[in-house]
Structure 1
Amino acid sequence: MEVYWFLGAFFLMEAGKEGIFLLKKGKNPHIVFGFCFGELLGFLLFSSVGGWEWKNTWLLPAAYLLWNMAGAWLDAAKKRRRKTGAGRAVIRLLVLSVSLLPIFLFPPMKPIPVTGSYAYETASYTWTDESRAESFRNDGSSRQVAVQFWYPVTEKEETFPLVVFSHGAFGYRMSNYSAYTELASNGYVVCSVEHPYHALFSRLEDGQLITADKDFIRDVFRINEEGVPEEEIFSVNRPWIALRVADLHFVLDRIGEICRGKSPGTPFSLIDTERTGLIGHSLGGAAAVTTGRERPEVKAVIDLDGTMLGEELDFSNGKYRMNEEPYPVPLLCIDTTGHYVEGLKYGDQYVNHAILSEARDGKEIHFDDAEHMNFTDLPLFSPPLAWLLGTGKRDARECIETMNGIILEYYDYYLKQEGENRPNTPSFTESV
């Protein structure tokens, strides 16, 4: 990525400058000022051109350079030659490194352009489910769920299909931002559900910041280790699925109530609840699949690299008992090729294959050279973090654009009856 080349070259240039100036005990203040001014100017030019999305992470190194230049200017104004030893040079380079770290972790990115003709807007809400106590607290408070909508801007009296998204473990409402905006620009209302205590962080309307529950984090990592008994994995993930599915039911019910009200307002006045699609990544995909089976208004479901844990009904005598009722609505699984191949080893004991093989309209598309986080926008927001959590050799941007195109095509067919459907066979797999 261009920004990483820039950061590396910038640091080496600063280190080289410090090294050259160390060769002289007294440095000409005008030369020092010229170097500092040139660095600041070059940094500001790079950070403001090239189509990058501006982020506040630029402010720290800019402040460092401004501080460096101000000191050089004072030296030049007072005509004094500052004597700086190796210790101060090292300290300055350490300060520079710390200021560059946020850009390294969250570099500016070029947003993925949308393909639709609609402009879009967004709105956020925090809804309280009075029927459920918050299981992560002992104070008797009710469960709160954060939601954010992306919706088309229109002056016509028209309604649009609804797509509800559920993020994965440690995800958050913005995890697939490019997919939300792509759908909204093409005439969909998208609702991203943020599950407090499962999300990396969740900020509610009252300003409360909720981070992921430490026990949830520990258990997620623990059951993904080698050698954990299947019965333990099954028992641990039961409350996760129950919580997610309850959140989705609550959100769908709440949206329906508002839409049926006398003055629903935007974005609810734009929603056709009878054309609803569900989608989720990882654990969110599992929740979407289970919820889609139980909601008559849901017309299509997409699972992004998620194991359909809610379709595992029991584990006893060393075997899973799957839901044998054919999945009632169109179901698309978008997986990594590795996930697909690994599942083949388990035969009918791999829940995704079991459910797809008996679904009335089940399809699977697997992506070559991709890994789990390639199905989110994290590789765009933070390539280093995405790499740590799992990205493949495939170009991240191309992978996301291809996935978003498949999502749009699928919903266009099943929610809008537009475009061409893929081969309508009981179980269909395709590699892209």
Structure 2
Amino acid sequence: MMGTVLFLIALICEVGFVIYCMVTKQNHKKVKNWMRVAVFAAFVILTLLSVIVWSFRWFLPAILLFVMAAKGAVSLIRNKTTIIKYKTTSIVWKSIITILALVFAFAPSIVFPQHKSPKVTGEYEVATATYTYIDKNRIEEFTDKGDKRFVNVEFWYPQKADGTFPLLVFSHGATGIKSSNTSTYTELASHGYVVVSIDHPYHSFYTVSEDGTRAVINSDYNLEISNLNKEESIYTNEELYGLIQKWMKLRTDDMNFVIDTILEKAKTDKKPVYHHINTEKIGVFGHSMGGAASVWLGRERNDISAVVNIDAPFFSDLVYKKEIKDFVASSEPYVTPLFNIYSDDVWGQLESNSLYAANKTNNESFKEAYTTHFHGAKHLSFTDLSLFSPILATIMQGGKADIDNYYALETENDLILKFFDKELKGIGKFSPKEAY
């Protein structure tokens, strides 16, 4: 919002100045120079007063406004008396160039608006740590170099705290990144949890290892996801079932490797984060494809005591029936405590889309699961992208959410906290409403 406001102010000043010059038939160079010096001074004052919170989004506007102000100041100091003949075309073209420069400079602050973080309510200060784990038992399938599979992780955990805390493992969405739900991790860590979020290399939009190695989303995988999300899928259900198995194997292999690595490090590693982990209390959660992988792991591992599924199909419980060329739900009971959070995007498909055959609320295999639905929420309402870049979130999820973004995230975080408190700490009650 702040970027849009400042851009509009700069735009109005520029357009107003051009109109003033055209009406008076004069260049008013001195007025323009003073105006640009004043605009930069206002930008600096707003930054010093923390109205503008300095970040990457303000880098380009600062450079542009400084250059314009510096040029104006030099001109004022020289105080040339040479009268330049007024030309409307010259004034207009210079203004167009300035406006284009303003659009370019303020684009980051508009696409990624300055925003306040969702509230953090716990008693603990939160520390973070980032590591790269190398899986010596897997070859990286997305490259032809024969490298071992690497997985980047980031921890959020209670700082300056005594004792151990439950471990929570998060998996991001189909093309997400490990920081997609930072507000959730921070809230949970502030209440006494060690949260680790995984970047799944080549499934994540991008990831950077400890040694600086970068990996961006694999183009073939990205195309598969894009094709899946089209209104008319180009895949048969049998082909789609094969893709699901491939995606889930990579995701669950990563999650299993990370959990096993952490459990081993908790025994021997001297780093503070590992000392805080209660290895007997483990929960997993994730958004979209990460939620599907979490449900899968909850069925696969005996040491997982709680699962949160955020807006995802139960891929682990889909069976492809060749005779009907469609998916049906497995009949095997799901015994790990499970909490489902759905947006309108997914809620509307539970009965109509066979990919969600196992998610149906009347599925006896999941009769003990908790389920809630957020009215007005879209798929990305449950990630920090809804605040970090509302424009991108709207484009990616195919429309603007009707729910307040802060309400959605803060309510989601509170519900997840209460669920894990009940299942992993044995404290409090958990009785979510059917809808929010």
Q: How does 1:57-72 map to 2 (within 5 A)?
A: 57-72=57-72
Please list the CA deviations of residues 115-171 of structure 1 after superposition, one character each: whole Å capped at 9, or x if unmatched.
001001100001111111111011111111000000001243x00011100000111
What displacement does 1:73 show? Answer: 1.3
Q: TM-score, normalised by structure 2?
A: 0.91
What displacement does 1:215 show? Answer: 0.8
The residue type equivalent to 1:223 in the other structure is L
Query: How many Å separate the matches in 2 of 1:13 and 1:160?
Result: 55
What displacement does 1:15 show? Answer: 2.6
Go from structure 1 to structure 2 and tell me whether the alpha carbon gap of 1:77 and 1:28 turns closer, same or farther (over 3 Å shift).
farther
Query: Paired residue for 2:13?
Result: 13
Go from structure 1 to structure 2 and tell me whether the alpha carbon gap of 1:47 and 1:106 turns closer, same or farther (over 3 Å shift).
farther
Query: Which residue of the other structure, out of 397, 400, 403, is the alignment partner of 1:394?
Result: 403
Query: Paired residue for 2:427?
Result: 418
What displacement does 1:393 show? Answer: 0.9
Q: Secondary structure at the match of 2:364?
A: helix
Q: Secondary structure at the match of 1:385?
A: helix
8 Å CA contact 2:129–2:154 kept in 1: the answer is: yes
What displacement does 1:12 show? Answer: 2.2
Query: Paired residue for 2:55?
Result: 55
Query: Paired residue for 1:142?
Result: 148
8 Å CA contact 2:327–2:354 kept in 1: the answer is: no
8 Å CA contact 1:128–1:144 kept in 2: the answer is: yes
Q: Secondary structure at the match of 1:277?
A: strand
Query: How many Å separate the matches in 2 of 1:179 and 1:185?
Result: 10
8 Å CA contact 2:126–2:159 kept in 1: the answer is: yes
Name structure 1 gaps, 5 residues minimum. Answer: 424-428
Query: Which residue of the other structure, out of 428, 431, 434, is the alignment partner of 1:430?
Result: 434
Q: TM-score, normalised by structure 1?
A: 0.92
- Coordinate RMSD, CA, aligned: 2.2
Query: How many Å separate the matches in 1 of 2:374 and 2:293?
Result: 22
Query: Paired residue for 1:172?
Result: 177
Residue 204 of structure 2 is aligned to residue 199 of structure 1:
yes
Query: Which residue of the other structure, out of 222, 226, 234, is the alignment partner of 2:241?
Result: 234
Q: How does 1:17-56 map to 2 (within 5 A)?
A: 17-21=17-21, 27-49=27-49, 53-56=53-56
Name structure 2 gaps, 5 residues minimum. Answer: 85-89
Please list the CA deviations of residues 191-231 of structure 1 after superposition, one character each: whole Å capped at 9, or x if unmatched.
00000101111011111111111111111111222332322
Query: Paired residue for 1:328?
Result: 335
Query: How many Å separate the matches in 2 of 1:356 and 1:260?
Result: 40
Moved more, 295-304 or 281-290: 295-304
What displacement does 1:319 show? Answer: 2.9
8 Å CA contact 1:170–1:212 kept in 2: the answer is: yes
What displacement does 1:38 show? Answer: 1.7
Q: How does 1:243-262 map to 2 (within 5 A)?
A: 243-261=250-268
Query: Paired residue for 2:87?
Result: none
Q: Secondary structure at the match of 1:143?
A: strand
Residue 229 of structure 2 is aligned to residue 224 of structure 1:
yes
Query: Paired residue for 2:307?
Result: 301
Q: Secondary structure at the match of 2:360?
A: helix
Please list the CA deviations of residues 390-416 of structure 1 after superposition, one character each: whole Å capped at 9, or x if unmatched.
241111111111111111111111111
What displacement does 1:305 show? Answer: 0.4
Query: Paired residue for 2:218?
Result: 213
Please list the CA deviations of residues 71-114 of structure 1 after superposition, one character each: whole Å capped at 9, or x if unmatched.
11121122126855322221121111100111111111112231
Give the count of matched residue pairs. Answer: 425
8 Å CA contact 1:329–1:361 kept in 2: the answer is: no
> What percentage of aligned pairs have identical amino acids?
32
Query: How many Å separate the matches in 1 of 2:190 and 2:422?
Result: 16
Moved more, 228-237 or 48-57: 48-57
Query: Paired residue for 1:426?
Result: none
